[in-house]
Amino acid sequence: MQGAYSLSHFAPARGGGIRGTASSSLFGGNSFFTSEIRKDARRNRLRCDLLSFLETAQYNGVDLLAITWQSALDILGAGATAEVRQSLVNLQMSFAFKRPISRYRSVEDDTLYGWLIRECTILCHPVVRQHRNLLDLEGVCWDPSMSDKFLRPVLVFKRAEYGDSHKFMTSGEGQAMSLTDRMSFAIDVIDAVIALHNADIIHGDIKPQNILVFKDENGMPLPRVSDFGYSSLVLQHDGSVALPMSKPWNAPEVLHHVHTWSLEEAKGADAYSMGLVCLWWLFDDKLASQQGAQDADIFFSEHGIALVQDWKKDGQIAELATRMIDMEANMDKRDQSFWRSFFEATFLQNGLKRCQDIITCLGNLRTSRVVDAAPCVDEITGDPIQDASVRPPRDFKITLHFLQLLLSHYRLRQHIKECLVERTYHDPDIEVRQNAAFQLAICYSVGFGCSRNEMEAEKWLKVSESPTSELSSAIFFLRDEQDTVYENKAIVALVRNGNFQSLEYGLEYRQEPSLHKVEEEYKREIHDLSAALGPDHVGVLNLRMILAGIMMDQGRFPEAEQAVRQTLDMYTARLGPGHQETLRCTNVLATILEENDRFDESKSLHKIVLEQRVRLLGPNHLDTLESARQLSTVLQSLGEYDEAGAMATRDYEGRLVVLGEKHPAVYESMANVASITQDMGHLNDSVWWNERALEGRTKVLGREHPQTLTSMSNLASVLQELGDYEGAEPLFLEDLELSRRTLGEEHQDTITALSNLGLLYMDMERYDESEQITRDALTMGEKVQGHDHSATLIGRNNLALVLERTERYEEAEELLREVLHSRERLFEPGNLLIATSMYNLAQNYAHQGRLEEAMRLHDEALQIRKTKLGEKHPFTLESMAEVGHIMRVWHRFPEAEDLLRTVLRSRVEALDYDHSDTHDALGELICVLHDQGKSEEVAEELGRFAEAQGAEEESDEEIVQ
């Protein structure tokens, strides 16, 4: 073996490193992933599957994360075998997801898992984990979007703030880098590749796109070598490696995929690619002009790539590098000496000599740059780390990662169980078969991935030849597990700070063929695990909350409420009322009550949670701020706008301090402030907030992100209310188009976007288009969500509204009756949603001249709203105004006047004189006063109104000045 060469910087290591000694080569060969060890022994290798991958993850301490890869996330990059997409979590930590690209998703499991295991193994190698310029693995999540019934792993990384080095170097910040900074940047990457080679790891595809650029602790650009999809960990020096050919970055000897290379030859090919990348970083802006090339970026244009390929054929590239160094006035003699030696070594035509000469070159590097170098050593023994075992023990254990597995997609657990059965029948190693049988005994004992069955558990325990006491110990271990524990310190910090958001399970399962089957499986798991581990086991409680989330997404709030209340009682008894999990469960219950229009109850719970979180976590913890935001929305629904605005502002300012301006949660807070100001009638202010939120989300998340589409729709809604239909229409159209493209025709957000467009066309008096679009939205909603889903009932209301605009009151009445009957069937008497349906149907009766029927429903709705919301709530005042209007029509003027004065006084207090609702109330009162001949009182009301408006205008002018 060639002597090790070292010039490495190492960050503090993370737990879970590879253990053991090397004894075999890699996971076998195939024609799909071209960089793997090819040996005669591959014919006898073991097949790779989900269990093999999970064993690798368990052995290396890789967390299984309950987060979702989403197609709407912005693409960071796409290599030959995988695509990488990014998702913000917070400014300090966000995720990039890597999964196989579409054309490779149908390959055999053996091939797919072979690649995943190989990359996971290399990413978890101590050298990769400890080197600051190598990108290591943060965890694994699961892609449910495959067409088959099983999930596939997705690798999770930190997000690169600057993207890849090609994107960075061609950006303003990259272009502004001095030559000194570029040299330091390049040396960081050289150092990283050397560290890989010292561990006998071949990268195989070094190019600017595979070097990501992060911000370091001082905000400076930090390169990190990534994308180990073509990499190999060579454990025996008679092994051979296949390399890809990424023009123009490939070594001249790497002309096609089919050839294989020795370890030293492969290192030489890596070195050549590294030399080309460094040449581009240092001199790209001058290479084109020096060579008279037409393309400014010669390494990336078609003509330029052909030119570079020609330079490599006869060694011109080394002469070119020397000329560029000699011409560089900003490079001192020491740096010139190093880079001249470096490029001479890396661009040698002889690949083997290339590797030998780079060792000599490294001595010059030590003198040209102050380096705090240290070899990679084992944290326990202190011995240098060079080799690592590529195959962990084949002993998958359910007891490891148990709670993480329970938080994952339910199909993952079913897949694990099926793989265990397959292994017990077909694996050639008897110990492996016995371990699989023992894990199956655990599965059947607790109901993991299958129905709980004691007879099956006993059968598999006998097959495993393990004593009953061992199974009892495993069950006791599971029963004793208290909380989900993560190995990754960055993930732990996210959880602790409230930044880590788990799956939105309702959204996750929308695309499943049968939501009923999903729900039944969760009910089965809850029943079985409760019997085996206890009804208050943390895993059971997590499953209960997941099931409630699925019910909530279907609009089944009464059922969800019952499930959450039961779970909350168990959390309180087990953990206490002030525990964070108890508070999260309380928050969910408050949200359900809000969705059921039980705002007072929701408000009380949100206040309790907020007070507890302020006391336990502090005022600026993200969980505390989230409580403030949620409380503001309930206060908004209650019409308590001043307090709602104060809470929303508190949330916004806190997130701004904690997360910084360019964070999605800050834009969510902006959208919340915009919504409250819209309800208060400050429409121009609302436009300003919505425009800021939309601009920020577009820049940070991309135009197609669901949150960006929400901001788009929100802004359009305010413009519609202002009467700016020409401004609103293109936004609604874009929202609909992008929702269809990114989420699909049948997604609820797409249906909502379609419905919004239909209501806009109604206001624009384009009634035919409005009716057709609204009918399409309703049909789709009934198909996707069902006849009685809350969103479907809103869609039916919308269609009735459009029909009423065209005076087709009888057709509208039929729809409104359906909605009222559905809500009376779904909710208890006195529910606010029932009152809303009564109000809508009463308005329809009034249009038809059926005032007695209208009065009966309006009065009933008014009593419910008074009881639930109070006399000054906007909905109560709305009902009061309609009752007053009918009394006026019936010439019951004194009663009408009393009601309408109450309405006007309350709206002035809540909304001031400038709000459109206040204008309406004043108009109604003026009419009833006029009907009674009270001209003096009419003049008084109009004078009071004019005086108040003048005072408001003067105040606004002072603010502007």
Burial label, 649 (beta-carbon count in 10 A; 0-12, 13-18, 19+): middle
Q: Is the pLDDT of residue 875 over 80?
A: yes
Q: What's the number of CA atoms in the CB half-sphere (13 Å) around residue 394?
A: 21
Question: What pLDDT shows up at residue 22?
Answer: 26
Question: What pLDDT shows up at residue 502?
Answer: 62
- The pLDDT confidence band at residue 835, using thresholds 50, 70 and 90, is very high
- Rounded to whole angstroms, the Cα distance separating 184 from 189 reads 9
- The pLDDT confidence band at residue 703, using thresholds 50, 70 and 90, is confident
Pick the closest to residue 255 from 267, 266, 245 (CA basis): 245
Q: CA-CA distances (angstroms) from residue 538 to 402, 404, 407, 411, 523?
A: 11, 11, 11, 20, 16
Question: What pLDDT shows up at residue 82?
Answer: 45
Q: Taking a C-beta distance cutoff of 8 angstroms, is the pair 918, 903 a contact?
A: no
- The pLDDT confidence band at residue 828, using thresholds 50, 70 and 90, is confident
Question: What pLDDT shows up at residue 619?
Answer: 93
Pick the closest to residue 903 from 881, 924, 883 (CA basis): 881
Where are the alpha helices (H) located in 48-159, listed in sequence order? 50-59, 109-123, 126-130
Return the residue matching tokens 């123009």.
248
- Rounded to whole angstroms, the Cα distance separating 631 from 587 reads 10
Token pair, residue 873, equals: 């709530």
Please give the average per-residue pLDDT across 818-834, as a whole number: 89
Please give the average per-residue pLDDT across 547-574, as a whole number: 90
Q: Is the pLDDT of residue 13 over 90?
A: no
Phi-psi region of 735 (alpha: psi -120 to 50; beta: other; left: phi over 0): alpha
Question: What pLDDT shows up at residue 101?
Answer: 52
- Rounded to whole angstroms, the Cα distance separating 715 from 717 reads 5
Question: What pLDDT shows up at residue 497?
Answer: 58
- Rounded to whole angstroms, the Cα distance separating 242 from 254 reads 9
Q: Taking a C-beta distance cutoff of 8 angstroms, is the pair 947, 926 a contact?
A: no
- Rounded to whole angstroms, the Cα distance separating 823 from 838 reads 10
- Highest mean pLDDT pick, 47-56, 642-651, 899-908: 642-651
For the stretch 283-307, what's the b/e string if a residue is b when 16 or more beta carbons lie within 10 angstroms of its beta carbon?
bbeebbeebebeeebbbbeeebbeb
Q: Is the peptide bond before 126 cis (omega within 30 degrees of 0)?
A: no
Please give the average per-residue pLDDT across 113-142, as a whole number: 88
Rg (CA), the chain: 33
Q: Is the pLDDT of residue 126 over 50?
A: yes
Question: What pLDDT shows up at residue 757?
Answer: 95
**pLDDT tens digits, residue range 476-490?**
999 998 777 777 677
Lowest mean pLDDT of 9-13, 394-398, 685-689, 928-932, name the range. Answer: 9-13
**Is position 462 annotated in a ligand binding site?**
no
> H/E element holding 224?
strand 221-225
- Rounded to whole angstroms, the Cα distance separating 499 from 91 reads 10
Q: Is the pLDDT of residue 71 over 50?
A: no
- Rounded to whole angstroms, the Cα distance separating 318 from 324 reads 10
According to DSSP, residue 48 is labeled P
Q: Is the pLDDT of residue 802 over 90?
A: yes
Q: Taking a C-beta distance cutoff of 8 angstroms, is the pair 738, 713 a contact?
A: no
Pick the closest to residue 102 from 147, 66, 159 (CA basis): 147
- Rounded to whole angstroms, the Cα distance separating 228 from 121 reads 10
Q: CA-CA distances (angstroms) from residue 358 to 9, 193, 224, 271?
A: 18, 12, 21, 8
Q: CA-CA distances (angstroms) from residue 226 to 71, 107, 176, 206?
A: 21, 24, 24, 9
Question: What pLDDT shows up at residue 813?
Answer: 95
Question: What pLDDT shows up at residue 291?
Answer: 60
Q: Is 164 helix (H, G, I), strand (E, B) or coil?
A: strand
Return the residue matching tokens 């459009």.
802
Residue 527 one-letter amino acid: H
Burial label, 389 (beta-carbon count in 10 A; 0-12, 13-18, 19+): middle
Phi-psi region of 534 (alpha: psi -120 to 50; beta: other; left: phi over 0): left
The percentage of residues in the chain with a pLDDT greater than 70, rounded to a whole number, is 80
According to DSSP, residue 2 is labeled P
- The pLDDT confidence band at residue 429, using thresholds 50, 70 and 90, is very high
- Rounded to whole angstroms, the Cα distance separating 896 from 903 reads 11
Q: Taking a C-beta distance cutoff of 8 angstroms, is the pair 705, 697 a contact?
A: yes
Structural domains of the chain in order of their starting residue, each with its CATH number = 45-159 (3.30.200.20), 169-368 (1.10.510.10), 402-480 (no CATH), 871-960 (1.25.40.10)
Q: Is the pLDDT of residue 492 over 80?
A: no
Please give the average per-residue pLDDT across 668-694, as a whole number: 93
- Rounded to whole angstroms, the Cα distance separating 7 from 195 reads 7
Question: Mean pLDDT across the chain, nearest whole number?
Answer: 81
Question: What pLDDT shows up at residue 377?
Answer: 43
Which of the two residues, 241 and 542, has the higher pLDDT score? Answer: 542
Which of the two residues, 51 and 744, has the higher pLDDT score? Answer: 51
Where are the alpha helices (H) located in 806-892, listed in sequence order? 809-826, 832-847, 851-869, 874-889
Helix axes 580-595, 538-553, angle to 10 degrees: 20
According to DSSP, residue 174 is labeled H
Dihedral sign computed on CA atoms, order 630, 631, 634, 639: negative
Lowest mean pLDDT of 352-361, 749-758, 842-851, 883-892, name the range. Answer: 352-361
Q: Is the pLDDT of residue 314 over 80?
A: no
Question: What pLDDT shows up at residue 360?
Answer: 54
Is the pTM higher than 0.95? The answer reads no
Which of the two residues, 560 and 204, has the higher pLDDT score? Answer: 560
Q: Is the pLDDT of residue 27 over 60?
A: no
- The pLDDT confidence band at residue 5, using thresholds 50, 70 and 90, is very low
Q: Taking a C-beta distance cutoff of 8 angstroms, is the pair 632, 672 a contact?
A: yes
Q: Is 468 helix (H, G, I), strand (E, B) or coil?
A: helix
Question: What pLDDT shows up at residue 149?
Answer: 60
Question: What pLDDT shows up at residue 525?
Answer: 97
Dihedral sign computed on CA atoms, order 570, 491, 742, 660: positive
Return the residue matching tokens 């300003």.
688
For the stretch 179-197, what's the b/e string if a residue is b when 16 or more beta carbons lie within 10 angstroms of its beta carbon?
eeebbebbbbbbbbbbbbb
Burial label, 912 (beta-carbon count in 10 A; 0-12, 13-18, 19+): middle
According to DSSP, residue 383 is labeled P
The percentage of residues in the chain with a pLDDT greater than 90, rounded to a whole number, is 42
Q: Are strands 152-158 and 82-87 parallel, antiparallel or unpaired?
A: unpaired
Lowest mean pLDDT of 446-455, 593-602, 609-618, 756-765, name the range. Answer: 593-602
What beta strand segments (E) does 88-162 contain?
A: 95-100, 139-143, 152-158
Q: Is 105 helix (H, G, I), strand (E, B) or coil?
A: coil
Please give the average per-residue pLDDT across 424-449, as a whole number: 95
Q: Is the pLDDT of residue 933 over 70?
A: yes
Phi-psi region of 241 (alpha: psi -120 to 50; beta: other; left: phi over 0): beta
Q: CA-CA distances (angstroms) from residue 429 to 55, 310, 358?
A: 16, 53, 45
Which of the two residues, 165 and 960, has the higher pLDDT score? Answer: 165
Angle at alpha carbon of residue 859, lines to 853 and 862, rounded to 5°: 140
Q: Taking a C-beta distance cutoff of 8 angstroms, is the pair 124, 18 a contact?
A: yes
Q: Is 159 helix (H, G, I), strand (E, B) or coil?
A: coil
Q: Is the pLDDT of residue 669 over 90?
A: yes
**pLDDT tens digits, residue range 343-394?**
988 888 877 767 555 555 554 454 344 333 344 444 434 444 444 445 677 8
Q: Is 891 helix (H, G, I), strand (E, B) or coil?
A: coil
Helix axes 179-198, 351-368, angle to 10 degrees: 130
Q: Are strands 64-68 and 139-143 parallel, antiparallel or unpaired?
A: parallel
Lowest mean pLDDT of 454-458, 694-698, 790-794, 833-837, name the range. Answer: 790-794
- Rounded to whole angstroms, the Cα distance separating 623 from 212 reads 32
Please give the average per-residue pLDDT across 407-424, as a whole number: 93
Please give the average per-residue pLDDT across 658-664, as a whole number: 84
Token pair, residue 848, equals: 């038809």
Residue 794 one-letter amino acid: I
